Amino acid sequence: MSLKEQILKIAKQAKQSSNKLALLSRETKDGVLKDMASNLEENKEAIIQANQKDLRLAKLKKYSQAIIDRLTLNDKRISQMADSLREVANLANPVGEVMRSWTMPNGLLIKKVRVPIGTVGIIYESRPDVTADCIGLCLKSGNSVILKGGSEALNSNLAIFKCLRDALIKHKIPEAAINLISTTDRKALDFLLRMDSFVDLIIPRGGEGLIRKVVKKSRIPVVKHYKGICHVYVDSDADLNMAENICLNAKVQRPGVCNAMESMLVHRDIAIRFLPGMIKKLQESSVEIRGCPVTRKIVKAKIKLATVKDYATEYLDLILSVKVVESLDAAIEHVNKYGTHHSDSIVTDDETSANEFLKRVDSACVYVNASTRFTDGNQFGMGAEIGISTDKIHARGPMALEELCSYKYQIYGSGQIRQ
């Protein structure tokens, strides 16, 4: 069988089994999820051994420390994967929920009912825990899933996948409900992205290069989970103490994630009062500051000059660009120009300014007086998330079980015909 035929077979079988998955009861799905969790814990040793293989290869290939960190599994990480599956089991079943219903004057009762999408393809890179997370969320939302992970994590992914598949088999659910493409041939992805008759949605999770490639090649709808160049704007009417806490949190609490602040904007009227103390605190937390000329003038300490490139960079690190702006308008313009429509916050006590910012900043999540770090399925009360969409089509912001669903209209008549 050629590679293309192999991928076609996987896609076809996944689609077929999605019809059965869509009809599973909550009890069945939750039973499988709990068994998946137990299987992971019972097979920790095998998973860690497989992971060691990947790590040895990664070190041979001289991958960066960041990649090796993301790749590494240990006892604790495997327990976390299992716990995540159990949490998904505890979430409400999104499938079958009547989202809205109404009756037309002719007596037709129309129900808008949540249903699974069908088959979801997930393309990701080094993190093997994504394997369990995505399978859990897709199963609970009644979708079959095709995973294509990075080759650097293949052994780990296969070991995890085996544990999860065994739970499916135990519950007599079609094996083809979950699929892991195990070839390292790069063409496999190209073939998958053309299977629009069998795969309904592609979610790429990873770096900019991966996402661009997927968008370019895919005939299947893609919901992008892009980078986050997030801003906090400290307005002239800000409570400066609150602003300091929020900015510090947004930058340093976990700098390597997409909802961390990468750029701080400060209104010129409070810049002299705010910036010296703020920058000192950030520097005490090892943050490298790159400032606009006004910032550099105000802050006596020696800091680098921020370039246009800085404003357009997602550092994912303890680096921050700082810019003093003329006005609220200038702040909004800067955010819409350099941001990535992810998460942006204004700190202000002025309601009018807050509302302007909320309305005009074109981002998935816009905050008043809170840290951008809250953009997260759990923090929004959705339970686990499959990612954070920076797209405007289908789903925007944290994407969880409901966002892994579509809907259908069920219409109840008593013989109505169209006039």
Identify the helix (H) or strand (E) that includes residue 99. Answer: strand 98-103
Rounded to whole angstroms, what are the CA distances from 238 to 25, 235, 323, 339, 366?
Answer: 51, 5, 16, 21, 16
Nearer to its own copies, 331 or 366 (CB): 366
Using the structure block, give the residue that is written with the tokens 């499938």: 95
Q: Which residues fall within 8 angstroms of residue 59, CB to CB, at 6 or more apart?
A: 68
| 63 interacts with its own copies by CB under 8 A | no
Where in 192-260 does DSSP place strands (E)? 201-205, 230-234
DSSP, collapsed to helix, strand or coil, labels residue 121 as strand
> Taking CB under 8 A as the rule, does residue 223 contact its own copies?
yes
Binding mask 97-136 for its own copies (x = CB under 8 A): -----x-x---x-x------xx------------------
Place of tokens 């990873």: 206
Query: Applying CB under 8 A, which part among 26-34, 55-63, 64-72, 362-370 lies near its own copies?
Result: 362-370
The Cβ of residue 97 has, within 10 Å, a number of other Cβ atoms equal to: 14
Q: Taking the complex as a whole, how short is the minimal distance between the CB of residue 281 and its own copies, in angstroms?
A: 13
Assess 9 for contact with its own copies (CB under 8 A): no
Q: How far is the CB of 133 from its own copies (least distance, A)?
A: 20
Length of the chain: 419
Residue nearer to its own copies on the CB measure, 150 or 383: 383
SS3 call for 267: strand
**CA-to-CA dists, residue 386 to 84, 135, 400, 401, 418, angstroms:** 12, 10, 6, 8, 42
Asked if 285 is part of the footprint of its own copies (rule: CB under 8 A), the reply reads no
Q: Which residue has the tokens 């299947």?
A: 220
**Binds its own copies by CB under 8 A, chosen from 210, 221, 272, 314:** 221
Among 222, 232, 266, 400, binds its own copies (CB under 8 A): 222
Instruction: Kindly give, in sequence order, each residue whose CB lies less than 8 Å from that of residue 50, ignoring residues fewer than 6 positions away.
Output: 155, 156, 158, 159
Q: Does 233 bind its own copies (CB under 8 A)?
A: no
Give the nearest distance from C-beta 383 to its own copies in angstroms.
13
| x/- track of binding to its own copies for residues 12-51 (CB under 8 A) | -------x--xx----------------------------
- Which residue, 166 or 317, has its beta carbon nearer to its own copies? 317
**Which residues in this chain contact its own copies in the complex, by CB under 8 A?**
19, 22-23, 102, 104, 108, 110, 117-118, 196, 200-201, 215-216, 219, 221-223, 239, 242, 245-246, 248-250, 253-254, 336, 358-360, 362-371, 373-375, 379-381, 391-394, 396-397, 406-418
